[in-house]
Amino acid sequence: MFPLGSVLLPGDVLPLHVFEQRYRALIRRCLTDPKPEFGVVLIDRGHEVGGGDVRRDVGTVARLIQVAETPDGRFAAIAVGTRRIRVTAWLPEDPYPRAEVEDWPETDDDPAEVTALVEAVEGRVRRLAALAAEVGEPAGSIADQINPDPLAASHQLVTMAPVGAADRYDLLCCTGPAERVRRLAELLDDVEAVLKFRLGDG
């Protein structure tokens, strides 16, 4: 397990600079597996470095797709989120964070319904991401095109939206893509109000 101060969603790209000894060991362990994967969960309180953090129990499996080791033993790695998981038990950290997990599939919502919801929200997400960048707020990673798969599209909208880690976590935990996009649309009302105030338009 790799606890982080940010939320990884399925489909997200995760660049990593791995320098702590415990996470160097984790990367080395992953590289011995035909499918080099690890779990990513949000740190609720505490810090990424040094341990002693408090962690959320819903996360995402990340698969390593590129790894380079530096001469001093650090790693530069790129991983991609693949599927949602739920932690059922945290295990002793030996030598890196470990947990028992289970896959947490999402509901099979009507694809046409989800596609319509995505189309209704996409324009707002892009516009508010641009406004966030204009006022110097963190903005999401903007894709040129939305994935045609409804589930992937729901995750992609969250990645693009200028929302914080706690909201991203709540959106990851939604039962399925339809609920996720509806909830995101509600959050965007507050985001828009804040951004307009920052721009002096509120």
Q: What is the pLDDT of residue 105?
A: 95
Domain count for the chain, please give it: 2
pLDDT tens per residue, range 84-107: 999 999 999 889 999 999 999 999
Q: Do the strands 13-18 and 75-91 form a parallel or antiparallel pair, or are they unpaired?
A: antiparallel
Which domain-ending residue is among 103, 129, 161?
Answer: 103
- Co-location of 30 and 97 in the same domain: yes
> Which are the contacts of 65, defined by CB distance < 8 A and separation ≥ 6?
78, 79, 80
pLDDT tens per residue, range 97-136: 999 999 999 999 999 999 999 999 999 999 988 888 877 7
**Overall pTM > 0.85:** yes
Q: Which two tokens stand for residue 90?
A: 């945290």
> Which are the contacts of 19, defined by CB distance < 8 A and separation ≥ 6?
74
Q: What is the pLDDT of residue 5?
A: 87
What's at 126, amino acid-wise? R
Spatial separation of the C-alpha atoms in residues 14 and 75, rounded to whole Å: 13
pLDDT tens per residue, range 152-198: 999 999 999 999 889 999 999 999 999 999 999 999 998 888 887 77
- Co-location of 98 and 118 in the same domain: no
DSSP-derived secondary structure letter, 32: T
Instruction: Write the CATH number for 143.
Output: 1.20.58
- By residue range, what is the domain housing residue 38? 2-103
Which domain-ending residue is among 74, 103, 132?
Answer: 103
- The pLDDT mean for the chain works out to 89
- Co-location of 98 and 122 in the same domain: no
- Say if residue 139's pLDDT is above 80: no
| Residue that the structure tokens 């893509």 belong to | 177
Which domain-ending residue is among 103, 133, 153?
Answer: 103
Model confidence at 51, pLDDT cuts 50, 70, 90, reads low
* Residue 177 backbone dihedrals phi, psi, to 5 degrees: -65, -35
Instruction: Write the CATH number for 70.
Output: 2.30.130.40
Q: What is the pLDDT of residue 49?
A: 46
- Co-location of 20 and 63 in the same domain: yes
- Co-location of 74 and 134 in the same domain: no
- Co-location of 69 and 134 in the same domain: no
Spatial separation of the C-alpha atoms in residues 184 and 158, rounded to whole Å: 7
- Co-location of 15 and 97 in the same domain: yes
- Co-location of 41 and 80 in the same domain: yes
- Co-location of 151 and 94 in the same domain: no
- Co-location of 28 and 89 in the same domain: yes
- Co-location of 69 and 32 in the same domain: yes
- Co-location of 116 and 147 in the same domain: yes
